Amino acid sequence: MRQYPDHKLLFPSNVPDRIILNLTEDPLTSVAVNWRTSLNVTEGFIEYAKASHGPEFRKNPNSIKAITESLTVAREEEPIVKANYHSGIIKNLEPGQKYVYRVGGGESWSEWFQVSMPGKDSPISFVYFGDAQNDVKSMWSRIIREAYHTMPQMDFLLHAGDLINRHDRDVEWGEWFHAGGFIHSQVPSVMTPGNHEYKNVKLSPQWRPQFNLPQNGVPGLEETNYEINYPEMKVISLDGEQIDESLHYRKAQAAWLDSILTYNPKKWTVVTMHYPVYSTKSNRDNVKLRETLKPIFDKHKVDLVLQGHDHAYGRGNVGSGTSFKSKEGGTMYVVSVSGPKMYAASDEDNWMERRTDNTQLFQVITVAEDLVHYKAFTGTGELYDSFILKKNGNKANVLINQIPDTPERRQIKE
């Protein structure tokens, strides 16, 4: 059996760990909370209050009893991990207000964390990550921390799948939580599953217990297919593995997507899924996914599609059919990678207006009224790509490229 020198990554105690916030269906007035303990802790609580300048918030906090479920994970030649997972949703919060919360019970509590709720009319900023996947503790940790350093007032984090490499390996999930540390506890996350969160079309057993994501998508795909609504932006997660592998869920997600976009009053629509509609290499083409989804994206003028899987970077706007690189284009497609596993990006003059390989990146995106500001940064915090999308009435978005003078980084040979 393998030995794990850092037992805290793997084995829970009575003290809460793996604490994470997730977005809810209504992210202005509620936030979801999740954490883990040993089996000795059979119930958990969330205490919360409006943040105050001093410690007076702790005098009379509100209390919520969490939902508790047990999970045992056993892998061949690895330790059996048993834990209780606790979850709850803090509701009826005031937009624009700052809150504190802690989780636990009895003598075992977390520290107090602070979270800011978005204002009704405020811009929304978020950070988007492609695959973390490999060497998460040692190599991905600097990326999420550099992202937080770059945009500490972010409203949420978006993960486009393959958060880890082996879907049920608990030490890898421990490394993922360790890498984000307190960031997970103060900035809500949303995540869509990748193929590495699945095995034989079976979702990671940790996914639903350890996250607390919306359940408003296709029945059977709770917490993998869902929508989140800000006043001017709809965020949609599609379960790409189920589109690729299941005819039933392919049709069901397509019908669901067309339905919610037909009655969509939001100014901006952002979709995230793992498999790219347009890949950064021709031999990684996802034909079934593109044939299923792109007509719907075109029909409803989806603004941004944020993807992973290809372990390289590419972005470009694509209109109806295959109209590439128009200043008044259609949907902006992005493929990115944040972890250290790298593949080559194609040299073909195709859909990509900016590309790179052998580069860890994160993307900062701000939605403000009629504008989307997008910036991609390398692992050192250097700006690598930038553009603005501007609403133009009922016409296609206007693209304003702001690509820096930095030459494209191309270090992997095909």
Structure confidence at residue 164 (pLDDT): 98
SS3 126: strand
How far is it, in rounded angstroms, from Cα 50 to Cα 294?
44
| Residue 87 banded pLDDT, cuts 50, 70, 90 | very high
Q: How buried is residue 263: exposed, middle or buried, by Cβ count under 10 Å (0-12/13-18/19+)?
A: exposed
Predicted local confidence at residue 319, as pLDDT: 75
In this structure, are residues 96 and 117 in contact, taking their beta carbons and an 8 Å threshold?
A: yes
Instruction: Quickly state the pLDDT bin for 322 (edges 50, 70, 90).
Output: low
pLDDT tens sequence across 122-143: 999 999 999 999 999 999 999 9
Q: What is the pLDDT of residue 77?
A: 80
Q: Do residues 389 and 372 make contact, with C-beta atoms less than 8 angstroms apart? A: yes
On the question of pLDDT at 327 being above 70, the answer is: no
- Per-residue tokens: 141: 């940790």
pLDDT at 3 over 70: no
Q: Identify whether the C-beta of residue 359 lies closer than 8 Å to the C-beta of residue 326.
A: no
Q: What are the DSSP calls for 4-73, one per residue?
A: -S-HHHHS--SS-EEEEEE--SSTTT-EEEEEEE-TT----EEEEEE--SSGGGGSS-EEEEPEEEEEEE
Q: Phi, psi (5° rounding) for residue 335?
A: -120, 135
* Mean predicted lDDT score pLDDT of the chain: 94
Residue by residue, DSSP assigns 326-378 as -TT-SEEEEE-B-SS---PPP-SSSS-SEEESS--EEEEEEEETTEEEEEEEE
Q: Once rounded to an integer, what is the mean pLDDT over residues 330-345?
A: 95
The token pair that represents 208 in the structure block: 């639903």
What pLDDT, on a 0 to 100 scale, did the predictor assign at position 235? 98
Query: Is the pLDDT at 333 greater than 70, yes or no?
Result: yes
pLDDT digits (tens, 9 = 90+) for 223-232: 999 999 999 9
Q: Is residue 203 within a helix (H) or strand (E), and if so which, with residue range? A: strand 202-203
Residue 328 has a pLDDT of 60
- Whether 303 has a pLDDT exceeding 90, the answer reads yes
Domains identified in the chain and CATH numbers = 7-116 (2.60.40.380), 124-401 (3.60.21.10)
pTM to 2 decimal places: 0.95
339: which 2 tokens? 């972890």
Q: What angle do CA 66, 69, 71 make, to 5 degrees?
A: 145
Quickly count: other Cβ atoms within 10 Å of residue 342's Cβ. Answer: 17
pLDDT of residue 191: 98
Q: What is the predicted pLDDT for the residue at 183?
A: 97
**Residue 58: what pLDDT?**
95
| Residue 257 DSSP class | H
Q: How confident is the model at residue 325 (pLDDT cuts 50, 70, 90)?
A: low
| Cα separations in angstroms, 242 against 154, 221, 235, 271, 301 | 30, 9, 19, 16, 23
362 confidence band (pLDDT: 50, 70, 90)? very high
Give the residues across from 246 on adjacent strands: none
Integer angstrom CA distances of residue 37 from 5, 8, 303, 340: 19, 11, 40, 30
User: How many angstroms separate the CA atoms of 70 and 147, rounded?
Assistant: 33
Render pLDDT for 234-293 as a digit per residue (tens, 0 to 9). Answer: 999 999 999 999 999 999 999 999 999 998 889 999 999 999 999 999 889 999 999 999
CA 16 to CA 299: how far, in whole Å?
46
Lowest model confidence (mean pLDDT) among 86-100, 372-386, 392-406: 392-406
pLDDT confidence of residue 395: 87
Question: Residue 356: pLDDT above 80?
Answer: yes
> Angle 247-262/287-300 helices, nearest 10 degrees?
10
Q: What is the pLDDT of residues 34-79, one digit of tens each?
A: 999 999 999 999 999 999 999 999 999 999 999 999 999 998 888 8
Residue 320 has pLDDT above 90, yes or no: no
The residue with tokens 């007509």 is 295
For the stretch 189-228, pLDDT in tens is 999 999 999 999 999 999 999 999 999 999 999 999 999 9
**Residues 397-410: what's their mean pLDDT?**
92
